[in-house]
Structure 1
């Protein structure tokens, strides 16, 4: 018997909106929108414009039904390139920076973790989201790491992804605004300088070392291992004078763009509809966490005398890679920022599973 005929309303298209277009056209559209969004940000002098423009373009395409996603291999390479970039800018080793100020840094990191966990507990108590989902989604760790852990512990991965990436967008956007209007803009690189030649053999050797280190970091299941292991190794080699890392501007531009797309394209229409009940409490909890981080930044300014943007980026509760890009695009103490961000990632990874179970059982 032939299958019964269906009306258009009975069988909606599995890919509404832009999802009906071929993937090549969707990528072309996101590229055009990225250029259109980046140009005014660059002209206005916003730091990390090459990240923010593609991120906004990715969000627009995803919410309009786009189905494209950045392949994992590209995101892996992006993390390695960003690790090498930050390694060239760090003049002080992380262990020394942390050892000098460890009591205050530990207090700041634990405070951010505590407030983010409290936000998750409050959302769970309202019944808007299941306990473990709310707590993992609110956890102040690297978004990709938290999603992997959340899935392993039975949380709703779509809601966790929504909460984590929404916080990354809020934190990155607000940090960019603070850097711009606070007078911390870095020097913009003109497009004609993107293709200035660099020594090819040292570049190729460093990229190979970075990729191998990233693979090792992933195989050892180190949180954000594709970023942290190449970064640690490159920092040691660069500071010791063993190698001199010079990355071409076109490679950095490509890395910033791909990172922005990776964040923005995660905001699919399906996830947004699935998470609509959690939208308002999630936004409120993110704003509260950002505000609390601002208070902690004030404490660092008073006690250690660091500049305001350095303190704010160091305490920001989201996106190690995006914070690294903004820090690299601004006039800040990158060693201090990365020390606190790395310490938070390590601590939340170590105590995150236990903390999530503990709080969820009491929610």
Structure 2
């Protein structure tokens, strides 16, 4: 597998575009904020990673799209422009956009409208807006993706799985160009209450920007975030024929499952280990070739240790530079794998690994070379970087990128 990455787009708690995201990452700036909704005071958690910039859509367009669709379209437009807006035969163009909960906000808001104002007040756009495949459909329609439109739904691994599916579409000869990514806009009283009931969220209301602290001994849960990330993937032949700038290559995608528990990772990390090794096998690479890992690293007590176990098992004595960018963005659930895929590509492109912020004392059970304090440089030459994404249900995805 050798699929070119030629365009990037992202809107997150850090910034509304890729350049702003990268600047914030390298400088170690947090995008976590106190929430201001009227329901917040009765909650145990008062903060989240809300968008740095609202989607720049006009009112007519916004009314027809769920928020998850809006941010997906915004990220896709940036990625497409970044790729040079290539001319592609629609039957050779695809779109794969993953999401964990899709149009969840539309569903809740429409139900409130139904109960308060009656069925006559329900919008005819409601069903397309609440479909889990809605973001993929919205992107596919805008960019005339007639080769196929797919919508992986694998919890917090959805965005990474979208990259894997898109790369496979190209490798199998079904498409020349595919928009691949993930989106999630989960910040609502119900989701916050649900995750809080599971004791999955950090409760550091007095220190929101210090709450997400992957691998720190005092971590107490993840911080919810929202956003979207989209990559333009192309066959190497197609990209070079049009003289495209190539950021990096997708060279492997490992997809496995823990088969252990609906919400807890396998403490031995066996599924994650197999995903990592599978991605490297497809890349025809060894653990010693891996220079950097953008870890799933959600800041949960169990999850961070399980991932560290998996990385150690896969890497052996080799110690690549590991970072946890959720320390700055929070956990964007289904969007996380795609956004962090972009961050991994940028780390290779710029030869620079962003720091993990809020890491004051590393958990002794996390025997990894975690980048913290400031960014660290990567060597020149041919490098492999991995992006790990794991989700409720035991979904394990590892994407291997090679430097261009």
Which fold has the larger relative contact order, with Cα–Cα distance below 8 Å and residues 6 or more apart in sequence? Answer: 1
TM-score (norm 1): 0.26
TM-score (norm 2): 0.24
Greater helix content: 1
Greater strand content: 2
Higher-Rg structure is 1
